[in-house]
Chains A and B, each alone.
Chain A
Amino acid sequence: MNLEEYRTMFVVVTLVLALVAVSPLLSVVVPFGGGSERFSELWLLGSDHMTESYPFDVAVGEEYCVFVGVGNHMGGSEYYKVYVKFRNSTESLPDIHKSMPSSLDSLCEFRFFVGEGEVWEMPVIFGFEDVVVVGDLLSVGNVVINGVSFPVGASAVWDSENEGYFFELFFELWHYDVVSHSFRFDDNFVGLWLNITGS
């Protein structure tokens, strides 16, 4: 190498070291990394926090427990709302491809705030009241959730193929959008199919 090449090398090395020296200041104005995907989790677990313990055959007058949980990976604290809804097999489900929630009215809701990287979990103890079977039609008068009785007036016909009266208890996740100042369906829902036996 001749002297000119050595000089160029010295200048480059000095500039690189100078850049390293100012990197703490640059990190304030230039975001390094942080390009990870932002999303929210919604889950449903059985009474022992396992998926094996989901209730399925449920009797009137009994209580059943599930855990609904939400994880926040949105990059900051979030304000969430979980709607609890109940339907038979013919009523509407949310359509996550069109970002549309179910058109059914909610029985109740949970509102909570979750910090970035944190989770929220709530036990949901549910049961059924005023269940009447007339012919091949089973009607549910009330769904009891965490001790409060909600009138539903839902009914299902006997499913001879799968042998049962099937209903779904499902949970929709919504989050507060600070731009539009309103809640938006998060394209997330979990459901639990239940075969309600008359007694």
Chain B
Amino acid sequence: MCSWSRFLGFSFFLFFLFTFSVPWVSASNGNVVPLEVAEAEKALVLAYDAVLEAEEAGANVSGLLARLNLGGEYLAEAYVWVRLGDSESAARFAGLCVEVVGDIRGEAVGLKEEAHGWWVLDVSVRLIWSVFGMIVIVVVGYVVWHVFRRRYLERVLGSRPEVVSDES
């Protein structure tokens, strides 16, 4: 009886030791993944969000996408090892993923700001040319109208039959 209770107690001890010494989190699909892999997943998504914002601002993000792809390959590899039960390899590949995508957010923010600067310049140039073009068209239209109107009236009045008074 005593040996059984010792065995049971030792089993519980090992179970809790294993559970709390290796950090695990639950993934969205129900699989349990090590914390490092979940963090790599989060880092990749945050980097992607930043790249998307830079792209929407008009930046060329092809270089950042190539690096995100490398991060994605490492993360996929990490998930392979999670499925095969090798948490050490999974954590190693997750670490590589975090390393690759680590600087992407900062660079994406830089590209976004640069693209925003170009956008402001572009809009300013468009605004100036649009206003200038509109003013030119309105002024030219006004002048042409007045020239046309004067010639029209001269032509119409010139061709009108004169009323001759015969009072004399």
Smallest CB separation, B49 vs chain A (Å): 7
The secondary structure that dominates the B interface is: helix
Structural contact, B48 and A113, CB atoms closer than 8 A: yes
Q: Does B145 contact A (CB under 8 A)?
A: yes
* CB-based contact B48/A79 at 8 Å: yes
Q: Using Cβ atoms and an 8 Å threshold, which residues of chain B touch A181?
A: 45
> Total interface residues on A, using CB and 8 Å?
35
Q: Which residues of B contact A (CB under 8 A)?
A: 28, 44-45, 48-49, 51-52, 55-56, 61-62, 65, 68-69, 72-73, 75-76, 79-80, 83-84, 122-123, 126-127, 129-131, 133-134, 136-138, 141, 144-145, 148-149, 152-153
A183 touches B145 (CB 8 A): no
A77 touches B52 (CB 8 A): yes
Chain A, residues 11-29, CB within 8 Å of chain B (1/0): the string is 0011001100111110110
Q: A18-B138, A111-B76, A113-B65 are in contact. List 18 more A-B contacts (CB 8 A).
A: A10-B144, A10-B145, A14-B138, A18-B133, A18-B137, A21-B130, A28-B123, A77-B51, A79-B45, A79-B68, A108-B76, A108-B80, A109-B79, A110-B76, A114-B65, A115-B62, A150-B83, A176-B45
B97: min CB distance to chain A, Å: 9
19 A–B contacts from the bound complex (CB under 8 Å): A3-B149, A6-B148, A7-B149, A10-B145, A17-B141, A18-B133, A22-B131, A24-B129, A25-B123, A76-B55, A76-B56, A79-B48, A79-B72, A110-B72, A110-B76, A111-B72, A112-B73, A115-B62, A115-B65
